[in-house]
Amino acid sequence: MLLRVEKGSFYYTSDTPILQDITLSLEKGEVIAVMGPNGIGKTTFLKCLMGIYKWKSGHSLIDGKDTGNARKQIGYVPQAHRFSFPYSVRDMVVFGRAKYLPAFASPGEKDYAFADRALEEVGISAIRDKSCNQLSGGQLQMVLLARALVGEPQLLILDEPESHLDFGNQITILKIIKRLAKEKGIACVMNTHYPNHALNIADKTLLLKGNKFLVGKTDQILTKENIREYFGVDSIIVTAQKDDREINAFVLTDLI
Ligand SMILES: Nc1ncnc2c1ncn2[C@@H]1O[C@H](COP(=O)(O)OP(=O)(O)OP(=O)(O)O)[C@@H](O)[C@H]1O
């Protein structure tokens, strides 16, 4: 087991609990989707995992070590908000090596080689000399993913990686996440608002609502009954055949 969260609880003010007794585990190469209504605590959960916020009780461990002290093992991909950064894409990505460098040292050839490999891995080598100020939201999201990858993480934490992306780029980033998990054995924790994305790439799902949660295999957690209970919408699950595989997808029926 790579990641273990044991009875993790968190609140900003003690009269309003946000996360209560969250317990889950994740193996190498597994993807877990974190889902739930707006403002329920998904980003807070990621921040507790990264040690930005300290669990009020309980703990989270990566390979037996507190996740808050595991900077080298964890890569973080924030949401791609526009920012003003006069760096080239390549320089932005090489920043992901900073945790391996002595204080104030500049990245060397080896670090740039890592950066070039990560750019290739996410398919953006062609824009490596562009300024980050000139990127689209989708390109910026890929740059942030490449920056996390150069740190050679065992655990990748992604905050709504497909938000702000067009339909095609959403699929591109989901395919990359799936490949990184299955081919490189990186465990991924990913917040998402899209149940179909979770059905497609997540082995497990954590569903949050109020002070309760469900966690388990995605197809057992994302049922139409739970979608009704946790999001208040009606849906049906349809199954399609692609080659020799069955693919399930939610169709929301409230609009029909
Ligand atoms: N720094 C903070 N101080 C106090 N309350 C906060 C802070 N950050 C978030 N909250 C509150 O904690 C709750 C959970 O917020 P969080 O951002 O984790 O939700 P979320 O599930 O990620 O939401 P969304 O789906 O809208 O992104 C919300 O009610 C939010 O207002």
pLDDT digits (tens, 9 = 90+) for 59-81: 999 999 999 999 889 999 988 77
Does one domain contain both 144 and 49?
A: yes
pLDDT reported for residue 150: 95
189-211 per-position pLDDT tens digit: 999 999 999 999 999 999 998 87
Phi, psi of 200 (to 5 degrees): -80, -35
Residue 190: which domain range? Answer: 3-217
Does one domain contain both 239 and 118?
A: no
Distance (Å) from CA 247 to ligand 1 centroid: 33
pLDDT reported for residue 99: 87
Lowest mean pLDDT among 125-129, 181-185, 207-211: 207-211
For a mutational test of ligand 1's pocket, the pick from 14, 15, 18, i.e. the residue with the most ligand atoms closer than 8 A to its C-beta, is 18
Does one domain contain both 185 and 242?
A: no
Does one domain contain both 248 and 174?
A: no
* CA 36 – CA 54 distance, rounded (Å): 21
pLDDT reported for residue 1: 75
Does one domain contain both 119 and 244?
A: no
Does one domain contain both 105 and 230?
A: no
CATH of the domain at 21: 3.40.50.300
pLDDT reported for residue 256: 75
211-235 per-position pLDDT tens digit: 789 999 999 999 999 999 999 999 9
Does one domain contain both 249 and 213?
A: no
Local confidence band at 82 (pLDDT 50, 70, 90 cut-offs): low
- Residue closest to 181 by CA, chosen among 141, 159, 149: 149
**Contact, 145 vs 157, CB < 8 A?**
no
Mean pLDDT, the chain, rounded, equals 93
Does one domain contain both 177 and 229?
A: no
Residue 83 clears pLDDT 90, i.e. is over it: no
- Output the ligand 1 site: residues, CB below 6 A: 12, 18, 36, 38-44
Residue 25 clears pLDDT 90, i.e. is over it: yes
Region 6-34: mean pLDDT is 96
Higher-confidence residue of 9 and 103: namely 9
Local confidence band at 170 (pLDDT 50, 70, 90 cut-offs): very high
Region 150-173: mean pLDDT is 92
- Tell me how crowded residue 53 is: count the other CB atoms within 10 A of its CB: 18
- Residue closest to 75 by CA, chosen among 157, 140, 2, 192: 157
The protein residue whose alpha carbon is closest to atom 3 in ligand 1 is: 12
Does one domain contain both 70 and 133?
A: yes
* Tally of domains within the chain: 2
Q: Which residue has the tokens 């399930």?
A: 248
Distance (Å) from CA 138 to ligand 1 centroid: 24
Does one domain contain both 54 and 136?
A: yes
Does one domain contain both 176 and 243?
A: no
The protein residue whose alpha carbon is closest to atom 5 in ligand 1 is: 12
Does one domain contain both 97 and 140?
A: yes
